[in-house]
Structure 1
């Protein structure tokens, strides 16, 4: 799995499109109201891109539940994608999530919870990723490359 993060409007999408330009891919985006789950009955291309992870996480934030529950629910939805990738060495799962951890801590409890859970999920993904990159101002910094 390849995890990419960075600030909003910092060129993550463009960088991924250039990096995987030679590969046929399926692009699922929370910004386009696509689902995070794999509902495809057919054969998927070699590269699947999941864009807007922070938005998918936001939809699941509920202050009535402990943060670890939401964190685990998100990872449970990503797990089938990780299994799909693991089933064939030519497959690559690419996950793009905007960094929302910088700036002023939100006053609203739900917004704070979203920020925290998102950061924890990003840590989980980075730990499991084969490659992790940060994109700032269109420039990539590799954090991890196994």
Structure 2
């Protein structure tokens, strides 16, 4: 099992030596890294697609993505921060569409959504 902390390092694509389960947490930080791209959602989807293809290579490969819900609370005044919140929400929708299982954990309570 490999843990990837996206707050500390951005793993642009799967590493050939990775096998088994790869857990990437902080995917909102990954999404933020694409904010300056011409089409950040498309850039994120390319990143996601590389990982999904990696997962399909072997039966032992499993990808787990963990992200924080940045859409709750007071809406920021700054346009850039609002755009970031929107982008994270759209990218999470893309992740959920591709996922075989989706869970939300709120105050330590797990609820399987998909």
Q: TM-score, normalised to structure 1's length?
A: 0.72
1:116 CA drift (Å): 0.3
- Comparing both structures, which one devotes a greater share of its residues to strand? 1
**Partners of 1:102 and 1:55 in 2: CA distance:** 17
RMSD in angstroms over aligned alpha carbons?
Answer: 1.5
Task: Note if 1:87 corresponds to 2:57.
Answer: yes
Flag as ranges the 4+ runs of structure 1 deviating above 3 A. Answer: none
- 2:25 aligned residue (51, 72, 94): 51
Higher RCO (C-alpha under 8 Å, 6+ residues apart): 1
Structure 2 counterpart of 1:29 = 5
Q: Map 1:60-99 to 2 at 5 A.
A: 60-62=34-36, 65=38, 69-99=39-69
Alpha-carbon contact 2:25-2:67 (below 8 Å) kept: yes
Unaligned runs of 5+ in 2: none
Unaligned runs of 5+ in 1: 1-24
Structure 1 counterpart of 2:85 = 115
Q: TM-score, normalised to structure 2's length?
A: 0.91
Q: Deviations over 1:83-141 (max 9, x none)?
A: 01011122110001100111111111110110000000000110110000001111110
Task: Note if 1:127 corresponds to 2:102.
Answer: no
